[in-house]
Every structure is written in structure tokens, then in C-alpha cells.
Structure 1
Amino acid sequence: MHRRTLLQGSALTLASPLAAPRLASAQGSARTLRFVPQGNLANIDPIWTTTTLARNHGLMVYDTLFGLGRDFQPKPQMAAGHEVSADGLIHKITLRPDLRFHDGEPVLAKDCIASVARWSKRDVLGLRLSALLEEMRPTADNAFEIVLKQPWHGLTWALGKPSANICAIMPERVAKTDPFTQITEYVGSGPFRFRASQWVPGSLAAYERFAGYTPRDEPADFLAGGKTVHFDRVEWRVMPDPATAAAALQNNEVDWWETPLADLLPLLRRNRDIAIEVVNTAGALGMMRFNHLHPPFDKEAIRRAIQPAVEQKSFMQAALGEDPALWQVPAGAFTPGTPLANDVGMEAVTGPRDPEAAKRALAAAGYKNEKVVILSPTDFPTLNALSEVTAD
């Protein structure tokens, strides 16, 4: 069974290994998928937070107006059609018929307008929309217009992008929640209903198939196309300890482990009933993010001075081992293989690595050996390994 997964990295791209039994043993007539996510689902508002876990949760519960295909181009998802005026200022979006929320109410233009408005206050591309927006107005229950002050060809891409924050469509009453406050009602129109009463942070999150969901009548195409549901129930079973997750997988206590630890892959490969695959060949692009507001990294010269000491390969080996099939270097500001990827400025990461030159540059930039604190999620083994290399 083929499944998608994303893995975070550090200024480079990581392919995404996953481990799962071959699912020949069905979970009885209920068809339940037992899934071990990459970490704890601590927050479930895909607008309030940018975590990958909340994004993955959001894509199960909510739907989006557009979705990116494998060619990284936006395609209609909830939208039945999209028209742009000759001057590029008016985008008219018509909704597919029979879209319904999990509470049985129809999805209307007013819900989409409120959802886009809330998203636009938190997301980077949403903020771009806010700056260019003249108004959003319904033209019918199933249609609305986004009117811009100047043309922006990236609008549909922004509304359908897979990265956080996704533009999740919610009922108007929920979408009117202050974007800087977490929602308390979890109603979407996506293929699964979130069972909030069964949610135990740090242990379990449960989803049930939404019988009222109608996928597009076309093949699946990354986040575009028809989202066909094959399970009646999905359980996210949180297991931050890799050894525990590996044992559960081998004992058929779970069906799918999203991000197996690289050190355990040889053990799992020896089990004929477990399939290990790299599905997301684009990988994920991460970064070292400096605190630009406070010393020492409030100085651009100090941020630049560190570059000669950064060896991307060392980060990858610490996170995913020696197998280069699981990672790719070098990587710049854009994920390799995607439309925006290019070689401009790549000499900053491909040139000779020289820690001593970095030390001299730091001194020249005014660094005075101030203490540097690194924030890292210790319950994410891969990210924690990257932070340890950063500290070294």
C-alpha cells in the first residue's frame, strides 16, 4: 500500500522512509488503520500552528479550494471552476455541488470567505493576499469573488499549497475565531471526521470516515484529484520512543510507522512482512532559523559568518544514516526538483567548508562568545539529531 509522509530537516532535503506491514492481515470488518505519526499531535488548529502534524491532521479533516498536483501546479479541489477577469484583478470561484460539513450543513461561499480571511492573518502567502486584497464578496451561495488591487498569479497556488499553514475551509462560525486563538470546534468537510471526545494528547487521536464526503471523479494527483477513502477508521497512536514503535510494528500492533529511525531500518528490513518505502521523493526542506531580534544573531554579518562551518552532509548522516538514498545534498532556499529550485548563490553551501574561517568571520562581525540557546523537540529523534549537529 502506498502512503505519503513528510520528514523535517535542516537546510537540506530528506527523503521520507516509511515502514508498514503489507496489510494482508485486515483489521476485521471495521477496516481500521493504526498509524504511528512522527510526533505528538498537541494542537489541532491548522491555522493557529504551523506544525507538520497539525497540517497532516488538517488534510484529513478539512478540504481546500485548490490542491497541488504532482507537477506542483494548482488544480481545483473544492472549487468546480475558477475564472479570472481580463485585468487579473477578479478571481471568481464556484464550489462543487453537494459539499457538506461534518455536521451536515452545506459548504457555502460565506464559509469560504471567512476561512480565507482567517488563514490570511497567519500564513506568509496569506499575508501577501491581505496586502493585495480589495474585498471578498459572495455572488451566490455557491460562488464568491476575490477582488485584488493588483494582479497576483500565485493566488490559487497559495490557496492550495500543501505546506503549513494550509487554507482549511471551516464553517463560518468557526472561521470567525480570532486567528491568534485556537479553535474549539473541529468541523470540516474533508474525508474524515475527527473524534474529539476520543483525543488523548500524547497517546491517541481518532478519525472516522465521513459518509457525506464525495471525492472528485478523477484519479488522485498528489493533493489534487479524487481523495478516495479506504478505511472506516484511522487511529494515530503516539509513540515517541523509536524502539517501542519498532516493536509494535513487528508485533502487528500497528500498521504504519511514518518516520522510522534510520538506525532501526536494517532490523525492519529483515522482517518479510514489513515494507519500507521512500514515497515522497521530493523530501522536505528544513532550515536553521536564527533569532533575528536578539544578539548575537540580530546582526546579518554574524548570521552569514556561520555558513562556512555548515556541512549539510553531516546533518543528513546524523539524522538518517549513511544511506544517500534517504537524503539529498546540496540544497538551497528551494527544494531541489521543484519549479523554483536553481543554483544561484549555492556556492554558500557547496564551497569548501572551513570552520576556522567561520571563527575569524564571527570575530570580525563582533561576536563576543555570547551564549547561544538551541531549541529542539527532543521527542522528534530526527530533528533532535539535527540540533545536536548544530550544537557541535
Structure 2
Amino acid sequence: MKHWHKAITLAAAAALSTAAAYAQEPQRGGVIDVATIGEPPTLDPMASTADLVGIVSQNIFETLFTFGTDWKVVPLLAEAMPEISDEGRVYTIKLRQGVTFHDGSAMDSADVLASLQRWQKVASRGQQAAANIASIEAPDAQTIRITLKEPYAPLLSLLAFNNSAAVVLPSENMAVPMEKPVGTGPYMLKERKPDQYIQLARFDAYKGREDASDFYGGARHQYLDEIRFVPVPDPNTRVEGAVAGQFAYADSIPVESVGRLTGDKTEAVTLKPFGWPVFVMNTKEGLLSDVAKRRAVLTALNPEDLLIAGFGTSDFYAVDGSLYPEGYAWNNKEGVEAYGQGDPEKAATALSEAGYDGTTPLRILTSRQYEFHYKMAEVAAEYLKLAGFQVKLDVVDWATLTQRRQDPKAWDIFISHSPFLPEPSLIGVMQDTSPGWWVSEAKTAALKAFNAESDPAKRAELFGAVQKVFYDEVPAFKVGDFNAVAAKSPKLQGVTPAPWPYFWNAYLAK
């Protein structure tokens, strides 16, 4: 996946041009304010797939594995990569010793076992893994053994991911919902004032890895004393705060504001390509439980007009129906002829043939905290009205959206976005239990063949069949590819451009 690595390298090089004046040995100390798009609905990383939850919680909690450069799975709380036996069915995982939780207790296999059992019940990705797991055991205090029903290639990526995450918690802290956010991470929760800030402080007893820092993997240095995540729902307020030097880092900056991110107080951080905006459809209940009506939505929408509305210039987007762009092993063209038609008249005919009554509202759930979501929703609504749909826009804050999308009676489309994930099985719609609830025999068969194969070249070929089912059954509409922009103080060093920005290894220059 060289495309991603190149993008990170370019973005990091751009940041270095301003950073040269501050170059020095990292120093300890200091507090930073990080502006986020809103208040996370929870700090339980198992219970949510929201990126916002992952951005905050990854500093508090840790997983057995994580992702290194080029999205290679690397050990984190595991001592090393697992020993895999029985033709890919048994994973034996040795745990690092001397790791302690924020409450002072020592981590051992009993904590990991209880955590993985909770993950299988609470997390959508844990439920996805559970369908393939025969048993999880702790044969001794430093060992976990996972036995699969059959070989399942995505297992390590699922265990490494930072939302809907298989984080390790103290075995006595298994309550649902989570009562106390206690993890093993480099920072611990100090104070949370809803809608004001989430304050994290250095965990002095943290035992990190001793190998070199490697993207999310390797050593996690605790240079900063505290990190404060400040919810700033209005994107223009995030920009103004960054320009004024109020925030050391501001996430999700509207692309039209990039020109303002200059000077001695702020600079742009660009990740190219970042990911894809997506219109997730409710396949379980309501208007779009009918695949013919979902196909009409796909036929009606003009992706370029939506992308222009969201990002303004093709410097920040690409019209592309493939689920992964060129440069990724998973890139293919299967099914994409259905993408990009932008033909409301053809959609209207299909909608009439599907028996649409012309009065039932098509409810689009969106938020203005990601301004490009809202702008795309407005343009999509006009195309869908031309196709004959009665359209209702429900505009709510992001935390409400992440809760409301759990209710299949509350919406027909919700608008979100995703980075290009290292393992396709991590994509939300690939999970039967993810909001949208896409369940089909064709999907199950295509994913089963894809996930049972371990050879990377063969998996890449098999992903074409998965993408074809995606376009046949339209559980979602991929709008295109886009680049993400954040703002960073030139004094904040050691920040690697990443889809979920992390602040271990970050420090303040003098």
C-alpha cells in the first residue's frame, strides 16, 4: 500500500519546512488543546465505530496489536506477533510483562481473556470476529490462545483496530456501559467536563514498547504533560481558533480555509488520499430495505457535483467508484459501471417500477460538524427530488447522529466518511451488525472466500467479487476519494499525519 506511505511522507516533509526553526531534542512538559469536531458519545472504544471516539480513546487504552508503517500489523500489548498453527486456525499470543493499568493493577491473561469476551459481545467488529472464533483461552498468565473455526485472514487487523476496538481492560471492569475508563495507555483520564473538554494526563507508570516508534506501533513517548480534547462543533470556529493559536491541533478543517493556515501560529496538515465520503443506506427497515430503490438512489446521484459541493476543487477530491484507489492492493473495477451515472430521469423510471408511492419521505441523517457531509446532503437531496423521492433532511450534531443511526426506524440514509482502511473487512458495511445492517447470502459467500484466503495476491483478486456484490446490492454509496486537512501549531512537533491523529511522541518546541 505504497500510496498511503508516500502520502504520509509528503505531508510530513511539508510540515518539516516550517518545523526546521524548532528542530531540537524532544523535551518533556506542556499542555496542548486539540480541537475536535464535537463531544464523543462515549469513551468506551468497544462500543462505538466513531472516529472521534477512537481519536481520544487510543491515548487511554491499548490493544494487543496495532498498525505500523504501510499498515503492517505489529505487536503492542502482545510481546510479539502470534505463533500461528493448525493451518491458520490457532493463534498463540504471548503478552508483554510488567504492563500496568491506570488503577495500578498488573495486566495478565485473565484481563485479556475477559476483555476479548466483552469485545465479542459489545463491539460490532468483535461480533464479526466472534462468528469465526471457536474458543479463546488463557493457558497461563502470559498467554492467550485463539482457536478459529476455519482460517480467517482479517483477525489480526480486527484485533489491531482502534474503534470498535479490542482494548484490554482490567478483568473487574467489564460493566456495560463502561463505568470507569481505565486502560494501559500512555495517558489517563484526569477530568471530563461534557461539551467543555476531556483532559488526559501522563500516566507515570506507563510501560511502553522499547522498539523504535513505527506509526501507531513501537515506542509511545510521553513528552506532553497533558492533552485536552476540546469539542468545537462549528468548523469555522476551529479555523479561527487555529489561526489565533488557541489550538495546538484542530481536526477536520474545511478545505476552503486552507489558505488561512499560514504564519507562525498554524500550518496545514494534509493526508492524501485520506478516504471516502459514504452514504450508508438502511437495508433493514423502511424505504431502502428494497434493493431496487437503493439502486435508484445510486443511479440518481452525480458524485462529481457532490464532491464539488463538499470540497470545492479537484485538488481535494477524485471521482472514483472503486472502494480503494489506485496504489492499493485492493483496487479493482468490478461493478463500478453502476457508479457515477447522475441520471435522475432513469432513476425516476426505476423508482416507479419499484412501486414507490411518491409520498413516503426519504430521511437523510447528517451533521454540520463535518461541513462537507452537510453540503453533499443538500446537493444529493436535489438530485433525489428530481428522481421523484420526497426528501427529508435531518440535521443533528455528530454525537446524536452516531446514536440515532443505531435505530433502524429513525433514518434511511446517514452520511459519514471513512479512511481507506488497511483491511477491507474493517469497512463498516462489511459487518452484518453495523448500522445499515447489510445481510445477504451473496455478501456472506464473497466475504467468506476472501477472508479464508491468506495469500495476498489471491485475496486481492477475490476482493473484486466482494466489490461486485457491493454494487449489485448497494448497501451504501461511495461518493469518491478525498483528502483530509487539519491545522497544527508549528511548535507542536512529532505529530505524524494519520487518519486518527495521535499525540504520544508529540512535544512542544521552545
1:256 matches 2:249: yes
Aligned to 1:226: 219
Unaligned 5+ segments in structure 1 are 5-14
* Amino acid across the alignment from 1:325: D
Q: TM-score, normalised by structure 1?
A: 0.85
Distance 1:378 1:79 in 2: 40
Aligned to 1:290: 281
Deviation at 1:382? 2.8
Choose from 180, 184, 200 the match for 2:179: 184
Deviation at 1:32? 0.9
Equivalences for residues 316-327 of structure 1 within 5 A: 316-322=307-313, 324-327=314-317
Contact 2:48 2:123 in 1 (8 A): no
Distance 1:140 1:29 in 2: 38
1:182/1:124 CA distance change after superposition, 3 Å: closer
Distance 1:186 1:337 in 2: 38
Equivalences for residues 301-312 of structure 1 within 5 A: 301-312=292-303
Contact 2:56 2:229 in 1 (8 A): no
Aligned to 2:147: 147
Q: CA RMSD in A?
A: 2.8
Deviation at 1:46? 1.1
- How far does the alpha carbon of each residue in 1:188-220 deviate from its partner, in whole angstroms, 9 at most, with x for none? 00111012xx21121211111112223322333
Equivalences for residues 317-356 of structure 1 within 5 A: 317-322=308-313, 324-334=314-324, 337-350=327-340, 352-356=341-345
Deviation at 1:103? 1.2
Aligned to 1:63: 62
Q: Give the SS at the match of 2:59.
A: helix
Range 100-109 or range 254-263, more displaced: 254-263
* Amino acid across the alignment from 1:152: Y
Deviation at 1:328? 2.9
Contact 2:245 2:266 in 1 (8 A): no
1:208 matches 2:190: no
Distance 2:249 2:344 in 1: 41
Aligned to 1:368: 357
Distance 1:60 1:335 in 2: 30
Contact 2:89 2:149 in 1 (8 A): yes
Aligned to 1:171: 170
Q: TM-score, normalised by structure 2?
A: 0.66
1:35 matches 2:30: no
Deviation at 1:99? 1.2
Choose from 226, 236, 242 the match for 2:235: 242
Deviation at 1:64? 0.8
Aligned to 1:7: none
Contact 2:47 2:123 in 1 (8 A): no
1:314/1:221 CA distance change after superposition, 3 Å: farther
1:217 matches 2:206: no
1:382 matches 2:375: no
Higher-RCO chain (CA-CA 8 Å, sequence separation at least 6): 1
Contact 1:72 1:338 in 2 (8 A): no
Q: Give the SS at the match of 2:193.
A: coil
Choose from 272, 276, 285 the match for 1:281: 272
Contact 1:72 1:339 in 2 (8 A): no
Range 60-69 or range 86-95, more displaced: 86-95
Percentage of identical aligned residues:
23
- How far does the alpha carbon of each residue in 1:35-76 deviate from its partner, in whole angstroms, 9 at most, with x for none? 101222232111112211111122111111111223223121
Distance 2:169 2:315 in 1: 39
* Amino acid across the alignment from 2:344: P
Aligned to 1:157: 157
Deviation at 1:186? 0.6
Q: Give the SS at the match of 1:120.
A: helix
Distance 2:101 2:343 in 1: 56
Equivalences for residues 13-28 of structure 1 within 5 A: none
- How far does the alpha carbon of each residue in 1:15-41 deviate from its partner, in whole angstroms, 9 at most, with x for none? 9xx99x9696xxx98411111012222
Distance 1:144 1:43 in 2: 28
Contact 1:314 1:389 in 2 (8 A): yes
Contact 1:282 1:336 in 2 (8 A): no
